Amino acid sequence: MVEIGGSNPKYATEVTSVGEMAKDFAAEGMLVFFGPQAPDELHDIAIITGPSPLVGVVAPGDILNVDGARFRISGVGDRANANIAELGHLVVKLNGLAETELPGDVSVEPGELPVLEPGIVIQILKGL
């Protein structure tokens, strides 16, 4: 598990690959993550991350940290926590919604995304 400064993240992992289509989705305000066991066909469309446990339930008000860029989580779909725990699967939408569009979504306040590349760290931190 990746250790980065800050107070005990609920989730912390490192990007290992970024699919070509995943970059297109990011440009549309959508990040699709899958853990290391994702089959090959998902590597094109997803940002693949290392193995990492989910150690706390993600909730609105928490902070998503993408390589130092911080986004406040506005809404968490009913399936989102199970997806992260089971598959390392996280769908982030930069739409600022409190009620997510889909049950797997984690909605965050819009903002500027950093360059997505292998080695960057993804964290979810408890909100203040």
What does the binding site for another protein look like in residue numbers (CB under 8 A)? 21, 24-25, 28, 30, 32, 34, 37-42, 44-46, 51-57, 77-87, 89, 91, 102-105
CB of 67 to another protein, least distance (A): 21
Comparison of 39 and 119: residue with beta carbon closer to another protein: 39
Beta strands 63-66 and 11-18, pairing class:
unpaired
Comparison of 63 and 84: residue with beta carbon closer to another protein: 84
CB of 93 to another protein, least distance (A): 8
With helix as H, strand as E and coil as C, how does 45-102 read?
Answer: CCEEECCCCCCCCCCCCCEEEECCEEEEEEEECCCHHHHHHHHCCEEEECCCCCCCCC
Comparison of 16 and 68: residue with beta carbon closer to another protein: 16
Rounded Cα distance between 112 and 98, Å, is 19
CB of 12 to another protein, least distance (A): 12
Q: Which two tokens stand for residue 19?
A: 């699919």
Comparison of 68 and 78: residue with beta carbon closer to another protein: 78
CB of 38 to another protein, least distance (A): 7
Beta strands 30-34 and 47-49, pairing class:
parallel
Q: What is the separation of C-alpha 100 from the centre of its chain, rounded to a whole number of angstroms?
A: 15
